[in-house]
């Protein structure tokens, strides 16, 4: 996603348009995935605590000036953590304990 956005932004700059930024939050956990809605309007959705935490982590990219953040839970499950920089733990909505986050550099 980042590579595609960089290419798209390069074309926007040439055209005199502003660049767009996005953030990615990665977390590991159990989710429920599937189609919800009615026959008139169907939508694919992911729900669960892991989805909510990934969303909260994604939103932290603005605060840290990063593009990709990884939760401590995901970090602990990786076979290699090369390129991940530890950041200060943060409080996020819906959690009583701080959440460890790592930036992809």
User: What is the pLDDT, as a whole number, of residue 88?
Assistant: 97
User: What is the pLDDT, as a whole number, of residue 1?
Assistant: 85
Over the chain (105 residues), the average pLDDT of each successive run of 10 is 91 95 94 92 94 96 95 97 96 93 96
Residue 92 makes CB contacts below 8 A (sequence gap 6+) with: 53, 56, 57, 60, 99
Threshold 0.95, pTM exceeds: no
User: What is the pLDDT, as a whole number, of residue 39?
Assistant: 87
Strands 68-71 and 24-26, bridge-based pairing: parallel
User: What is the pLDDT, as a whole number, of residue 45?
Assistant: 94
What domains sit in the chain, N to C, each tagged with a CATH number? 23-104 (3.30.70.1230)
């Amino acid at each position: 996603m980042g590579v595609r956005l960089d290419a798209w932004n390069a074309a926007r700059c040439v055209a005199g348009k502003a660049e767009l930024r996005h953030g990615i939050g990665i977390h590991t956990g159990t989710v429920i995935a599937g189609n919800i809605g009615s026959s008139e309007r169907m939508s694919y959705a992911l729900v669960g605590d892991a989805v909510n935490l990934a969303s909260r982590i994604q939103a932290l990219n603005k605060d840290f000036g990063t593009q990709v953040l990884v939760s401590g839970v995901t970090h602990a499950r990786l076979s290699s953590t090369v390129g991940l920089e530890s950041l200060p733990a943060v409080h996020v909505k819906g959690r009583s304990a701080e959440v460890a986050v790592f930036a992809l550099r």
